[in-house]
Amino acid sequence: MNDILSAVLQYLPAFALRWIFSKHWLAEHITFDVRPRNEPVTIFCGELPFMQLTLNVTNRCYKEVELDRLTVEFTFPGITQQLYYLRRTTIPRGKAVDILIRGNLTSQQAAAIAKQGESRMRIEVFAEFNSDIQEFSVNTAWPLTVKPTLANI
């Protein structure tokens, strides 16, 4: 059924596809998940502190989409940090892509996080996508917070 629908959709003009697939519909068919599930965020507290996150982006649309840019905002008790991913990445229809996002921390931020090692953090993702149909954005916040893994304390 999906193959037949895909074959029909490839011959429709862009204005008709925009009418069928709204920005809201496209945004609902992009999902984000963190990997690995048990330790999604790692914070390295060495001489040059940084944090990293592996984000899984799944495209459930009928067309491929291009991830234009992505901002991940971490909220830790007393600290808010934003990490950016600015590489354009094509995500084929029905496929998932893992993205490694890294960002530097200040020594003060790393020390504050190390003191509150048992605390949990909230992750929010703001992403901009391009497609043959139209450009759209996805903003998501996980209702559950995650506990970061601390390394090099």
SS3 32: strand
Identify the band that residue 1 occupies on the pLDDT scale cut at 50, 70 and 90.
Answer: very low
- Residue pair 152/43 in contact (Cβ under 8 Å)? The answer is no
Which tokens in the block code for residue 80? Answer: 């808010």
**pTM for this entry:** 0.83
Boundaries of every domain in the chain: 39-151
Which tokens in the block code for residue 50? Answer: 């940084």
Tens digits of residue pLDDT in 30-43: 999 888 877 788 89
- Residue pair 123/146 in contact (Cβ under 8 Å)? The answer is yes
Element (H, E) at 54: strand 50-59
CATH top-level class of 39-151: mainly beta
Q: Which residues of 14-29 are buried (b: 16+ CB within 10 A; e: fewer)?
A: eeebeeebeeeebbeb
Tens digits of residue pLDDT in 58-85: 999 888 999 999 999 988 888 889 999 9
Higher pLDDT, 9 or 114: 114
Contacts 24+ apart (CB under 8 A), 107-113: 107/49, 109/49, 109/79, 109/81, 110/43, 110/45, 110/49, 111/45, 112/76, 112/78, 112/79, 113/43, 113/45, 113/76, 113/79, 113/148, 113/150
